[in-house]
């Protein structure tokens, strides 16, 4: 009987541990600064959130669990997946490629 209870206890512990690790809280974003009503300070968001901002909008998030911060500002969509320092304009890239081709 004691082996059965130990097995049940271990199974419950493993199940709870698995649920904790599969929780989205392990890769969340916490808003720590914002001038956008949709992203209030303290809000927890999934790490795949796309911030659709307008001109003058600014949102700063804490990336958990790494505790790195990211700042998103300016018009357009922004996400954690974009390169550090923001995204580049596709028009500017196209123009630079055209300049190379004509040289």
pLDDT tens-digit map of 68-94: 999 999 999 999 886 655 544 444 444
pLDDT tens-digit map of 30-80: 999 999 999 999 999 999 999 999 999 999 999 998 999 999 999 999 998
- Which conformational region is residue 47 in: left (phi greater than 0), alpha (psi within -120 to 50 degrees), or beta? alpha
Task: Give the SS3 label for residue 17.
Answer: helix
pTM: 0.56
């Amino acid at each position: 009987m004691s082996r059965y209870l130990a097995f049940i206890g271990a199974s419950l512990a493993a199940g709870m541990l698995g649920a904790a690790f599969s929780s989205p809280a392990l890769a969340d974003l916490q808003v720590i600064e914002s001038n956008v009503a949709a992203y209030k300070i303290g809000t927890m968001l999934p790490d795949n959130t796309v911030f659709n901002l307008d001109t003058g909008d600014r949102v700063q998030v804490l990336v958990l669990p790494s505790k790195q911060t990211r700042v998103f500002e300016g018009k357009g969509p922004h996400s954690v997946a974009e390169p550090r320092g923001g995204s580049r304009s596709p028009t500017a890239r196209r123009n630079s490629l055209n300049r190379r081709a004509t040289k």
